[in-house]
Amino acid sequence: MAQEDDSLTVALVHALDEVTRRVEEITTGEGLSLDQWLVLHRVAVAGDQAMRDLVAGTRLNDSTLTRVVDRLAALGLVFREADPTDRRRVRVAISTRGRTAHERLAPAVEDAERRLLSDHDSPSLIASLTRLARPLAGT
């Protein structure tokens, strides 16, 4: 009989796999991966973002983020624009088509998240995960 692994790292990886599976069940109908959804959701909720802010907000690395934004732009969901205060910086903004896709998908993603947490003490779990992630925000 296999011994249960109660490692926090293993548990979080398994939880992320399940969240990814459930979210992508919803987003793949629009041709979006979890990473693409994270970027689309971020610009929909927080407004246009500099690439470095998207790296911090989504935890994607630079090269992955560039590929994700390229794909979202090719789908017409976001567009790049020069930062008006520093033309060397690029900002990513949501398009009308992207806003429509986000408005269509967000309720289903939120429902999937609620269902994932329904068997747990969700306020406590979310608070714990938020506290756990907080030191990462500064890196």
In this predicted structure, the answer to whether residue 102 has a pLDDT above a threshold of 80 is: yes
- Which tens digits make up the pLDDT trace of 42-90? 999 999 999 999 999 999 999 999 999 999 999 999 999 988 888 888 8
Secondary structure of residue 76 in the 3-state scheme: coil
Q: Which residue has the tokens 């756990």?
A: 132
Mean pLDDT of 23-32: 93
**120: exposed, middle or buried (C-beta count within 10 Å: 0-12, 13-18, 19+)?**
exposed
What DSSP element (H or E) covers 86? strand 86-94
Task: Please give the model's pTM, rounded to 2 decimal places.
Answer: 0.82
In this predicted structure, the answer to whether residue 122 has a pLDDT above a threshold of 80 is: no
**Contact (CB, 8 A) for 67 and 92:** no
